[in-house]
Amino acid sequence: IREENNLREAFAKGDLEMFYQPRVDLKTGKIVGAEALMRWRDPIRGLIAPKDFIPLAEEIGLIGKMTTWALDQVCLQQRNWQDRNIDIVPISVNLVAEQFLDGQIVTTLEKTLEKNSLAPQYLEVELTESAAMQSPQKTVELLKQIKALGILIAIDDFGTGYSSLAYLEKFPIDILKIDISFVQGVTVDQHAEVITSAIIAMAKELKFLIVAEGVEIDGQRQFLSKHACEEGQGYLFSKPLPATEFADLLINHI
Ligand code: G
Ligand code: G
Ligand code: MN
Ligand code: NA
């Protein structure tokens, strides 16, 4: 109960903050996108990671409001950078299953883009494979509406859920993010290599853009690049950064 109140208070006070982790083209090293990741900046405890408060937010039913806030925050930030003539890249926001069940998400996305006068191609949404499979038929319908707004859709943590491949083909998705657990097995575990290259090959056939998550060492980058994975995200390139530091990267590295 105490931590619940702390989180509600932090949200109300503005102690949540979005960090940005770049996504890069594995061949050129250019920044081609980013993922927005939430942090709780507590005055005493310091930075708190999502794994230590997102589950609680889900439990107490605050996650919907927090994600709506995150979407607004990201669009506002993009608008601010664009106004300063910074070359912006698409930024993805993690959605949760709950939003796909209450049906508000399409209106929320539309309103947020409009309010911040942001073109839809600068916003992407990520949905984990398991969230998408909680109510697959409904998810297909909502994803179609999101796509119609011009927003790109990514399936996150791919390979860890249990989506039937039949649904993968029905979901109108643009990007497949290979889960970190496979990526980190590359160069050490032959099974992980076989699975990773098979996921890439399948995603290619289905015309998805493929992003490898958790790229930490150059050997992983080389393997992924050799198997025609286009993009990567991970500590090899950058950890998630506060907005000002991410903007510096955009200004200096593109
Ligand atoms: O940022 P980290 O590096 O610790 O993120 C851990 C996990 O927390 C991510 O994989 C993601 O699923 C979740 N997460 C981070 N930020 C957000 C957010 O803004 N909304 C939601 N729903 N989940 C998030
Ligand atoms: O939404 P998702 O669960 O995919 O969020 C990505 C998570 O992976 C975040 O918690 C982020 O901090 C973490 N992450 C990003 N890059 C790396 C990396 O290179 N190594 C590890 N171990 N974690 C990473
Ligand atoms: Mn994600
Ligand atoms: Na992921």
**What per-residue confidence (pLDDT) applies to 98?**
84
Burial grade of 135 (CB within 10 A; 0-12, 13-18, 19 or more): middle
178 touches 143 (CB < 8 A): no
Ligand nearest to the CA of 179: 4
How much is the average pLDDT of 202-206? 92
Per-residue pLDDT band for 163 (boundaries 50, 70, 90) equals low
Per-residue pLDDT band for 133 (boundaries 50, 70, 90) equals confident
Q: Could you give the ipTM of this predicted complex? A: 0.93
**What per-residue confidence (pLDDT) applies to 254?**
55
How much is the average pLDDT of 78-89? 97
Per-residue pLDDT band for 71 (boundaries 50, 70, 90) equals very high
Q: Tell me if 242 CB under 6 Å of ligand 1.
A: no
**What per-residue confidence (pLDDT) applies to 167?**
80
Per-residue pLDDT band for 181 (boundaries 50, 70, 90) equals very high
Q: Which residue has the higher pLDDT, 131 or 247?
A: 247
Q: Tell me if 70 CB under 6 Å of ligand 1.
A: yes
Ligand 1 atom with the smallest distance to the CA of 70 is 19
| Nearest partner of 139 among 155, 151, 124, 123, judged by Cα | 155
List the CATH number of the domain containing 68: 3.20.20.450
Give the range among 82-96, 122-136, 215-229 with minimum mean pLDDT.
122-136
The binding-site residues of ligand 2, defined as CB within 6 angstroms of any ligand atom, are 21, 37, 94, 156-157, 180, 213-216, 233-235, 240
Query: Any residues with CB less than 8 A from the CB of 111 and at least 6 apart, and which?
Result: none
Q: Which residue has the higher pLDDT, 22 or 104?
A: 22
Total domains present in the chain: 1
Q: Tell me if 47 CB under 6 Å of ligand 1.
A: no
Distance CA 235, CA 229 (A): 17
How much is the average pLDDT of 25-41? 97
Beta bridge partners of 156: 128
How much is the average pLDDT of 34-51? 96
Distance CA 158, CA 19 (A): 22
Pairing of β 152-158 and β 209-213:
unpaired
Mutation test residue for ligand 2: of 213, 235, 239, the one with most atoms within 8 Å of CB? 213
Return the structure tokens found at 5.
């109140």
Per-residue pLDDT band for 60 (boundaries 50, 70, 90) equals very high
Q: Which domain holds residue 170?
A: 2-253
**What per-residue confidence (pLDDT) applies to 17?**
98
Q: Tell me if 74 CB under 6 Å of ligand 1.
A: no
Q: Tell me if 92 CB under 6 Å of ligand 1.
A: no
**What per-residue confidence (pLDDT) applies to 19?**
98
Instruction: Please report which residue ranges of 103-210 form alpha helices under DSSP H.
Output: 105-115, 129-132, 136-148, 165-170, 180-183, 190-205
**Is the model's pLDDT at 139 over the cut of 80?**
yes
96 touches 58 (CB < 8 A): yes
**What per-residue confidence (pLDDT) applies to 168?**
83
- Ion ligand 4: residue ranges with CB closer than 5 A: 156-157, 213
How much is the average pLDDT of 92-97? 94
Query: Distance, CA 155 to ligand 2 centroid (Å)?
Result: 15
Per-residue pLDDT band for 134 (boundaries 50, 70, 90) equals confident
